[in-house]
């Protein structure tokens, strides 16, 4: 019998003993009136004499951590959502309920009422007058969680990770603060939060392979959305001028330190503006989020020092390739580009478009070097089927991507409002799908119809919330900022 099984067996016996004595190990509600951190902040500066004279009563509840038991007493670190505070359980005070206290294991959840005092080591402590077992823990907490070599176990059992690693909980508190700061910023600029369908008959708004399901009542196939873009633009047609959505997208792709098949995106759209406006807007948005959520615009990400203070450089896509040593003829000729990429060991596939090939070269040679915030602008039209063409260079579109720490954080462009041009680009996607490209999609005739009613000039942007949180919390894997990342099934 292994050690964990022995611990579980021992705890099950304690559970049985309690129930045989009429003690309910899974109680109901408890009137918790104080948090550990608040008690320490408010009363941590008082001496033992001051505490004794004031007889400050508190009511706390939380999880038992590092219990230390003696003959007629026990000290326990009680951990709640705010932190830890020590509680003192004494037989002379608790009387008949003390035997239950003696049976406490690490991980049990208890409620306690008592008065504050200081121990001989000067630690602020609750001397318990009333005590109640609220939930008996049957499985022992890991003693050396930080020493586990299998980091995936932390992701699979996030509930345990949160118990024993306070810094993990801090990351997700920061995530919540970041999302709140985003909402406050956008709504402060007049944007309206909306919700659009997460199950769609025709997926669109991005180049990605969707998840497919079937609706029995309608007898039709549906797809989990890969992006909300086409529905948000329909709202611009309908008369909304500033809209945003913060919600889940789903893409049937690989899992890595940067990708999870279910992820959070912010998309926002504003009428009568273009991508130049959005670059200025983004330079204001992201530093303010960092300032509000973290208190600084200067970050440490791994070994990198990053300064979010604007203005940020704006560099054309093609020029970054030339600056990286890509020959001029490669950036302007398909055949030469494929041969050059193969020679440099860049992965290319049969049927890859010229624009996609240039994007692969960019990903290999340029993207990893974009450490400080940088806007990359003016992409090939092949890579941007929903973006407006540049009037002076119709082979390019008015689009930018924001890179920080070698990763894409945001993608934005002036929106294509010409229904004829949009139909032609959709038709190209349909042909690519028929040729075997699983990331391309069917014609969305309803979206074309919406554009035919007239859509105002507009600009739209998408920001990957998970990657932004990674950046602002110095997290190296997307799994570190997702409470429950997608994992392979347990064997």
Rounded mean pLDDT for each run of 10 residues along the chain, 491 residues in total: 83 94 92 97 96 97 93 95 96 93 94 97 97 95 57 89 91 97 98 97 87 95 95 98 96 89 97 98 98 94 97 97 92 79 85 84 96 97 88 94 97 96 88 76 89 98 97 96 92 75
Q: What is the pLDDT of residue 144?
A: 52
pLDDT at 338: 85
Tokens, residue 148: 């586990």
Task: State residue 150's pLDDT score.
Answer: 65
Give the per-residue pLDDT at 454: 98
pLDDT at 122: 96
Give pTM, 2 decimals.
Answer: 0.91
Q: What is the pLDDT of residue 335?
A: 67
Token couple for 38 = 């608040």
């Amino acid at each position: 019998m292994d050690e964990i099984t022995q611990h579980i067996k021992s705890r099950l016996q304690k559970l049985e003993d309690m129930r045989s004595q009429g003690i309910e190990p899974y109680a109901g509600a408890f009137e918790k009136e104080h948090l550990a951190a608040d008690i320490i902040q408010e009363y941590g500066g008082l001496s033992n004499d001051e505490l004794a004279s004031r007889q400050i009563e508190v009511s706390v509840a939380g999880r038992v951590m590092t219990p230390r038991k003696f003959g007629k007493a026990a000290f326990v670190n009680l951990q709640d959502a705010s932190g830890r505070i020590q509680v003192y359980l004494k037989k002379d005070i608790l009387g008949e309920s003390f035997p239950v206290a003696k049976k406490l294991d690490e991980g049990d959840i208890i409620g306690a009422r008592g008065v504050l005092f200081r121990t001989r080591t000067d630690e602020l402590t609750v001397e318990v007058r009333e005590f109640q077992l609220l939930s008996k823990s049957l499985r022992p907490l890991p003693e050396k969680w930080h020493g586990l070599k299998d980091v995936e176990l932390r992701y699979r059992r996030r509930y345990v990770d949160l118990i024993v690693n306070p810094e993990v909980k801090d990351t997700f508190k920061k995530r919540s603060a970041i999302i709140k700061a985003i909402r406050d910023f956008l709504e402060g600029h007049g944007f309206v939060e909306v919700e659009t369908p997460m199950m769609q008959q025709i997926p669109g708004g991005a180049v990605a392979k969707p998840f497919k399901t079937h609706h029995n009542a309608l007898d039709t196939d549906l797809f989990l959305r890969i992006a909300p873009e086409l529905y948000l633009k329909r709202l611009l047609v309908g008369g909304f001028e500033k809209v945003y959505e913060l919600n889940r997208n789903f893409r049937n792709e690989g899992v890595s330190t940067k990708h999870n098949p279910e992820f959070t995106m912010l998309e926002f759209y504003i009428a009568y503006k273009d991508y130049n406006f959005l670059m200025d807007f983004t330079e204001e948005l992201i530093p303010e989020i960092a300032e509000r959520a973290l208190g600084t615009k200067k970050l440490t990400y791994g070994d990198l020092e990053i300064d979010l203070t604007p203005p940020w450089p704006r560099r054309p896509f093609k020029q970054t390739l030339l600056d990286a040593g890509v020959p001029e003829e490669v950036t302007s000729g398909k055949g030469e580009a494929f041969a050059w990429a193969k020679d440099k060991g860049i992965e290319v596939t049969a049927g890859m478009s010229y624009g996609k090939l240039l994007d692969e070269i960019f990903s290999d040679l340029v993207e990893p070097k974009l450490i400080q915030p940088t806007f990359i602008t003016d992409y090939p039209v092949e890579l941007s089927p929903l973006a407006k063409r540049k009037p002076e260079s119709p082979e390019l579109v008015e689009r930018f991507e924001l890179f920080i720490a070698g990763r894409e954080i945001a993608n934005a462009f002036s929106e294509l409002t010409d229904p004829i041009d949009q139909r032609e680009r959709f038709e190209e996607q349909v042909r690519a799908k028929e040729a075997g490209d699983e990331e391309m999609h069917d014609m969305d005739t309803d979206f074309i119809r919406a554009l035919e009613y007239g859509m105002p000039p507009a600009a739209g942007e998408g920001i990957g919330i998970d990657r932004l949180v990674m950046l602002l919390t110095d997290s190296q894997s997307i799994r570190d900022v997702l409470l429950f990342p997608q994992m392979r099934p347990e064997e």
